[in-house]
Amino acid sequence: MISKNMIDEINAKVNEIFHNSPVKDIEKNVKVLLSGAFTRLDLVTRDEFEIQQEVLQRTREKLMILEAKVAELEARSQSAAIRAVDNVTELHPH
């Protein structure tokens, strides 16, 4: 059976080989290459997207409140106009 020390030694050797191999350099170069490509595509970051999503949600909520207020004012205005017409009709029947 393999001892814990032997597993640790194998793990250490694999990590050493990995760190000394060109894989790290390749990974770093690919990240730089992709980062440059994404920058040229004019993409937004996740943080920027989430911030704009929150702003849009607050704007929608404010819009709903304003729409409700406008509807209420329109209803009041219509009601006042109807009352005014009724008052005129009562004072000056045809």
Q: How many domains would you assign to the chain?
A: 2
Co-location of 37 and 64 in the same domain: no
Q: Are residues 51 and 19 in the same domain?
A: no
Is residue 33 domain-shared with residue 10, that is, in the same domain?
yes
28 and 74 in a single domain? The answer is no
CB contact at 8 A, 24 and 18: yes
Confidence of residue 53 (pLDDT cuts 50, 70, 90): very high
The per-residue pLDDT for 37 is 78
**Confidence grade of residue 70 (pLDDT, cut at 50, 70, 90):** very high
Is there a single domain that holds both residue 34 and residue 51? no
Would you say residue 41 has pLDDT above 90? Answer: no
Domain containing residue 63: 44-94
Residues 65 and 94 in one domain: yes
What are the Cα distances from residue 85, in Å, to 71, 78, 80, 88?
A: 21, 11, 9, 5
Q: Is the pTM of this model over 0.85?
A: no
